[in-house]
Amino acid sequence: MNSKIIIAAIIVISVIGLGGIFLWRQSSPAPTNESEKYTEPISYTANDQLFTVSKKEFQISEYFIASDLANKSLGCGNNKTEQYFTDLLNKYPAGSKGIEYDFQYSGKTQYTGRGQDTWIVMVIPNNLGYNRLEDFVKNFDICEAGAAKYSMAISQKYLFFKSSCGSGGGDDMGCTDVQQFVEPTIKFH
């Protein structure tokens, strides 16, 4: 009789223990989507032999200026006015910040230290609510060689821009090597 009580007690304790573990695991929910797993807007494959990465914040109002965007978009055949871009940029409150990732070529060139050996990815919040890359590109399409920022990608939370490498003259000072390695590995969150 005592052995039946002991077996019953073991079963009850096991059921209670497993139930407790189940409830404990349910109380800490997993991220509901892929982007909630990341604290950074991008992830990428590192290659310390080829490049180093630095990250810095910037004021959106200093990098995105309505008159500049209007002038640069003219080369694309867009007829958007400065006021159009002012209205877009007003969706970013004063003090809004973005993040710049500088992927600097690790090799030595005659341009080392001058920034010409660096490929840049800039990220700003998607305050404009873009859901389609085509809409983002229409507003931020820059048609000039060597531009500092081109439309790259969007996510629900962010807009991504990239720099060009060189001015089309063929001497990109290691920037293209970095871009060709990093860009296909970037995941946008």
Long-range Cβ contact pairs of 179-184 (< 8 A, separation 24 or more): 179/103, 179/119, 181/45, 181/47, 181/50, 181/51, 182/44, 182/45, 182/47, 182/51, 182/103, 182/119
Provide the domain limits for residue 61: 31-188
Same domain for 82 and 23, yes or no, is no
Same domain for 85 and 10, yes or no, is no
Q: How high is the pLDDT of residue 126?
A: 97
Tokens of 175: 């920037």
Query: What distance in Å separates the CA atoms of residue 161 and residue 96, rounded to the nearest whole number?
Result: 16
Q: How high is the pLDDT of residue 70?
A: 87
pTM: 0.75
Same domain for 94 and 137, yes or no, is yes
Cα 171 to its chain centre, rounded Å, is: 27
Same domain for 157 and 182, yes or no, is yes
Residue pair 135/165 in contact by the 8 Å Cβ criterion? no
Same domain for 114 and 134, yes or no, is yes
Same domain for 153 and 166, yes or no, is yes
Torsion, Cα 173 178 183 189, to 10 degrees, reads: -120
Q: How high is the pLDDT of residue 10?
A: 59
Same domain for 44 and 56, yes or no, is yes
CA-to-CA separations, 46 to 80, 104, 178, in angstroms, rounded: 39, 12, 10
Same domain for 8 and 39, yes or no, is no
Tokens of 153: 């990608």
The string of pLDDT tens digits covering residues 118-142 is 899 999 999 999 999 999 988 887 7
Same domain for 23 and 35, yes or no, is no
Same domain for 9 and 102, yes or no, is no
Same domain for 76 and 118, yes or no, is yes
DSSP letter at 117?
Answer: T
Q: Which residues of the chain have pLDDT under 50?
A: 18, 20-35
Same domain for 79 and 170, yes or no, is yes
Decide: residue 88, CB within 10 A, 0-12 exposed, 13-18 middle, 19+ buried: middle
